[in-house]
Structure 1
Amino acid sequence: MNRFGHIDLRVNDLERDLPFYEKLLPELGFTRTFHSANWKVFAADGELPSAAYFAITEDREHRPNANLIGFWAQDREEVDRLAKLIVEIGGAVNDGPRLFPISPTYYAVYFEDPCGNKYELLHRLN
């Protein structure tokens, strides 16, 4: 059972960062939106509150750190395709996409949103 519930993410400039997430999150399966004045919520399939969701709010004092959020990819081609998209929509690729020595099939890209929050998109067979 995947126990993931949701992420409450802070960015320091919502106007700058929201377009990045509006293009990336649907590609990761967060296709439904439930926005309010203070929160931009992107949900996966299923009924809230049990459906996984990704919520974003602005905190002008937010400073990115070494925390990292990882997403599964269906295959290496998806990792490659989304790595290109990340750059096109204003993110930064820090490493990859490539095989990493974590396991023989660990294929990933490490990246940041325009705010500097860190992510990984990976595919592995074992």
Structure 2
Amino acid sequence: MIQVRFSHLDYNVADLQKAMRFYDPLMAYLGFQKETCQPTWCLYGNQRFKLCLVECEDIYKWEGFHRKRPGLNHLAFQVEKKEEVNQVHSFLLQKNIPILYGGPGQFHNETEYYAVFFEDPFRLKLEVVYSPGYL
């Protein structure tokens, strides 16, 4: 049997510059480096995962994104210590990024799952989670 790991995610955005204003500081704070940036896309990586922001074609921009439609619901970043979730929460507050669900907390009844949720400028839900049993 082969073993794989998650390689990358291409995320189509309506406005690349707006997306980069949000993601540049967030991804740097989460330990990602901006690896390559072109006029229509930007790639962030951290040795384990890559996120590529891609500006979609004009004919698709009007539809917009909603996480409750079929497709991607949210993107979660795993941290190694529970305190790091709180540190990210403080970072988000400093950047005036609205927090969902009242702030960090335990979001699973059967396993340790401490997380903070927030949205990017296009309403994609993002999560930073500490859950040692959820690897």
Q: Taking structure 1 as reference, are residues 109 and 2 closer, same or farther at Cα in structure 2, changes over 3 Å only?
A: farther
Match of 1:52 in 2: 49
**Which of 38, 42, 45 is the matching residue for 1:43?**
45
Q: How many residues align?
A: 121
Q: Which runs of 5+ in 1 are unaligned?
A: 46-50
Match of 2:21 in 1: 19
SS in 2 for 1:63: coil
**Which of 73, 80, 91 is the matching residue for 1:74?**
80
Give the TM-score normalised by structure 2: 0.76
Give the TM-score normalised by structure 1: 0.81
The yes-or-no answer on 1:92 pairing with 2:98 is: yes
Structure whose CA Rg is larger: 2
SS in 2 for 1:35: strand
Query: Greater relative contact order (Cα 8 A, min sep 6): structure 1 or 2?
Result: 1
SS in 1 for 2:126: strand
Q: Which amino acid aligns with 2:46?
A: A
d(CA) in 2 for partners of 1:102, 1:120: 17
Percent of aligned pairs sharing the same letter: 27
SS in 2 for 1:116: coil
Q: Which runs of 5+ in 2 are unaligned?
A: none
SS in 2 for 1:122: strand
Match of 1:9 in 2: 11
d(CA) in 2 for partners of 1:90, 1:115: 16
State which drifts further: 98-107 or 36-45.
98-107
- Two-structure CA RMSD over aligned residues (Å): 2.1
Q: Taking structure 1 as reference, are residues 118 and 103 closer, same or farther at Cα in structure 2, changes over 3 Å only?
A: same
